């Protein structure tokens, strides 16, 4: 009975295998899979699933698990590996002889000669920027839960045709594993990243290793993954990702790149959460630094500077700008400053608040400020906004319209840190402002550097033409104060006149003779 069945199966097949309960080849009869010397004998002890191509593996495993004596499951078409780089199309028929169970027989019929798998075609890999916009796209789609996976393949970029083909195979595997078949990127010659479904079960490292092995390369592959879910809204997650990705690329080094990235992303998301909470609970303070009329010495107004605990604000503010959190913060600062202006005894005080250029990207800040002052609009005449980070102004015309709306309402506008960045002059012409604050680095050089003096002189002239006043910041010495005043700068700020303090009150007498104490000047 056994030999009859075997004979029947064998007559129709090129190779007959007997598998043990684990699917391991116990016996192999018939024509070897490849003419090139290899015989079916060499398959003994090998798992059959290891010999079939990826597409056939799951059907084969399912069929092996389900098979019962005397049943004939549907045949499985698969590619069977012949040697390291060739495969052969084959049809596999499983059956189980009752007296041999749990062993399973498998008859293989080949279709055509062995062939080399062509290097698969795949869409070109993205750049880091392309990856980011891909992440942005999927995060904005509400039902895509995505992860970013990092794959390092040290040795892949070595010269040679095999390496080139292996790289093409790796690219194809990564693209195929990515969320839409085209969302893998090459960040460095041997470092890749891809966006994929966060519940993806694919073992990337072993797939990539296999792809390289198909070209005869034995490479160590590392894969790590960072899920992008969490409490943060999509847009700021994308920004966090960019922040972390940039940090990661900057830090370089193949070892631990994936880990460094997910650490960096986690840290960034945590910081963002902390910042958001801090803004919501108004858990920050303002300090006030005086701005002096350089010809009279009278305190003109105070700049409100944010303080988070003992730390300076610069890092947190940069992060908030990067992560799209600055608008809410700037508005919270304005709210605090307005509270200060409404306190008894401060009816003549004026306060400048800093506003990031990014906050002028929508109507929210301007609308918010107008709403905060709607009950008693006169207070708007005691508010000045300093537009910092003008580089973040994306749509300059729209930002200009928003600033005009504020100016019509009585709020004065100052362009902060003027002179840094090539676009400064352009902003001067296109953003409506009352005042320009000349960046501190010109003041620092003003005594020693004739070019800085020249520049400030021209700037003062230009501003006068445009009916704008000028402020010099970071004045630390008498010489600097005298120099900028002699060049025609109207107002000054810096440690010489007063450090940031808890309250906007005119401090103790100052050493410069031109200054009169205790008075507050008009806008001038």
**Contacts with ligand C2E, residue ranges (CB under 6 A):** 289, 305-306, 312-314, 317, 326, 330, 333, 354-356, 386, 388, 416-417, 473-476, 493-495, 500
Residue 252 phi/psi, 5-degree rounding, is 60, -165
Q: Does 434 bind Mg ion (CB under 5 A)?
A: no
Residue 258 phi/psi, 5-degree rounding, is -60, -45
The three-class DSSP label of residue 172 is helix
Angle, helices 257-280 vs 314-322, to 10°: value is 100
The CB-of-411 to ligand C2E minimum distance in angstroms stands at: 15
Beta strands (DSSP E) in 338-449 are 351-356, 383-388, 412-418, 435-438
At residue 463's C-alpha, the angle toward residues 457 and 469, to 5°, is 100
Q: Are 34 and 82 in contact (CB under 8 A)?
A: yes
The CB-of-266 to Mg ion minimum distance in angstroms stands at: 32
For tokens 């708007």, name the residue: 380
Q: How far is CA 67 from CA 101, 309, 455, in A?
A: 10, 69, 87
The three-class DSSP label of residue 462 is helix
Whole-angstrom distance, CA of residue 458 vs CA of residue 410: 28
Q: Does 389 bind Mg ion (CB under 5 A)?
A: no
Q: Does 417 bind Mg ion (CB under 5 A)?
A: yes
Instruction: Tell me whether residue 98 or residue 312 sits nearer to ligand C2E (CB atom).
Output: 312
The CB-of-295 to ligand C2E minimum distance in angstroms stands at: 20
The CB-of-365 to ligand C2E minimum distance in angstroms stands at: 10
The CB-of-386 to ligand C2E minimum distance in angstroms stands at: 6
The residues near 474 (Cβ < 8 Å, ≥ 6 apart) are: 440, 443, 444, 493, 494, 495
Instruction: Tell me whether residue 212 or residue 333 sits nearer to ligand C2E (CB atom).
Output: 333
CA atoms within 13 A on the CB side of 181: 4
Q: Does 435 bind Mg ion (CB under 5 A)?
A: no
317 interacts with, out of ligand C2E, Mg ion, none, CB within 5 to 8 A per kind: ligand C2E
Mark 468-507 with x for binding to Mg ion (rule: CB under 5 A) and - for no binding.
-----x----------------------------------
Q: Which of 156-164, 212-220, 354-362, 401-409 is the region at the interface with Mg ion (rule: CB under 5 A)?
A: 354-362
The one among 225, 321, 386, 389 contacting Mg ion by CB under 5 A: 386
CA atoms within 13 A on the CB side of 117: 26
The CB-of-265 to Mg ion minimum distance in angstroms stands at: 31
The CB-of-279 to ligand C2E minimum distance in angstroms stands at: 11
Q: Does 359 bind Mg ion (CB under 5 A)?
A: no
Q: Does 354 bind Mg ion (CB under 5 A)?
A: yes
Residues that bind Mg ion (CB under 5 A): 354, 386, 416-417, 473
């Amino acid at each position: 009975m056994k030999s009859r069945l075997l004979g029947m199966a064998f007559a129709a097949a090129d190779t007959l295998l007997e598998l043990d309960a684990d699917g391991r080849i116990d016996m192999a009869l018939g024509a070897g899979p490849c003419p090139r010397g290899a015989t079916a004998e060499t398959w003994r002890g090998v798992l059959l699933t290891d010999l079939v191509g990826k597409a056939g593996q799951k059907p084969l495993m399912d069929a092996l698990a389900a098979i019962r004596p005397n049943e004939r499951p549907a045949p499985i078409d698969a590619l069977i590996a012949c040697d390291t780089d060739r495969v052969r199309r084959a049809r596999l028929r499983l059956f189980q002889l009752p007296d041999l169970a749990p062993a399973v027989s498998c008859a293989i019929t080949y279709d055509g000669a062995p062939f080399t798998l062509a290097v698969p075609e795949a869409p070109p890999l993205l750049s880091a920027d392309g990856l980011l916009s891909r992440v942005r796209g999927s995060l904005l789609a509400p039902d895509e839960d995505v992860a970013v996976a990092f794959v390092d393949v040290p040795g892949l970029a070595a010269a040679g045709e095999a390496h080139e083909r292996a790289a093409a195979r790796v690219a194809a595997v990564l693209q195929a594993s990515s969320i839409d078949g085209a969302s893998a990127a090459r960040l460095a010659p041997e470092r890749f990243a891809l966006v994929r479904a966060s519940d993806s079960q694919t073992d990337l490292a072993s797939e990539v290793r296999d792809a390289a092995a198909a070209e005869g390369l034995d490479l160590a592959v590392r894969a790590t993954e960072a899920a992008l879910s969490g409490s943060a809204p999509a847009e700021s997650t994308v920004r966090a990702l960019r922040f972390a990705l940039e940090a990661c690329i900057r830090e370089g080094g193949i070892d631990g790149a994936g880990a460094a990235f997910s650490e960096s992303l986690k840290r960034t998301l945590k910081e963002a959460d902390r910042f958001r909470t801090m803004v919501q609970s108004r858990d920050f303070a303002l300090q006030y630094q005086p701005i002096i009329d350089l010809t009279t010495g009278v305190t003109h107004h105070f700049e409100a500077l944010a303080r988070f605990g003992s730390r300076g604000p610069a890092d947190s503010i940069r992060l908030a700008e990067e992560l799209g959190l600055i608008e809410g913060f700037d508005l919270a600062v304005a709210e605090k400053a307005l509270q200060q202006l409404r306190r008894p005894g401060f009816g003549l005080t004026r306060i400048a608040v800093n506003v990031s250029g990014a906050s002028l990207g929508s109507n929210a800040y301007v609308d918010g400020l107008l709403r905060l002052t709607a009950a008693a609009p006169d207070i708007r005449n005691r508010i000045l906004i300093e537009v910092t980070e003008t580089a973040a102004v994306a749509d300059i015309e729209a930002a200009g319209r928003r600033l005009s709306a504020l100016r019509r309402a009585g709020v004065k506008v100052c362009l902060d840190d003027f002179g840094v960045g090539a676009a400064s002059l352009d902003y001067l012409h296109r953003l409506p402002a009352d005042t320009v604050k000349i960046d501190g680095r010109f003041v620092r050089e003003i005594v020693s550097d004739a070019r800085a003096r020249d520049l400030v002189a021209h700037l003062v002239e230009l501003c006068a033409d445009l009916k704008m006043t000028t402020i010099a910041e970071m004045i630390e010495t008498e010489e600097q104060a005298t120099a900028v005043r002699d060049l025609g700068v109207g107002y000054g700020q810096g440690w010489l006149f007063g450090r940031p303090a808890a309250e906007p009150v005119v401090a103790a007498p100052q050493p410069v003779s031109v200054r009169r104490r205790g008075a507050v000047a008009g806008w001038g």
